[in-house]
Amino acid sequence: MHHVVGMTMLYIYYVYIYAFGFVLVLFSFTCYASGTAIKRWWCITENARGWVNV
């Protein structure tokens, strides 16, 4: 039983990492589409900050 719980936790952990990576890539593309490199970096950090605050 404990092994099953461990596997489930591991699966959820990987899903979270995958989702975070996907969101990061999504932000990168949306930010890349608009403005200069500095503006892009600002956009990415602002989006990340917004997600953290939520």
Q: Which residue has better confidence, 50 or 4?
A: 4
pLDDT tens by residue, 18-42: 999 998 888 777 766 665 555 666 6
The tokens for 6 are 């461990």
Q: What is the pTM of this model?
A: 0.43
Grade residue 53 by pLDDT with cuts at 50, 70 and 90: low
> What pLDDT is stored for residue 24 in this prediction?
84
Mean pLDDT, residues 2-27 = 87
Measure CA of the first residue to CA of the last residue in the chain; give whole Å: 35
6 vs 14: CA distance, rounded Å: 12
pLDDT at 9 over 80: yes
Q: What does the DSSP assignment read for the chain? A: -HHHHHHHHHHHHHHHHHHHHHHHHHHHHHHHTSS-HHHHHHHHHHHHHHHHH-
Amino acid sitting at position 42: W
Q: Would you list the domain boundaries of the chain?
A: 24-54
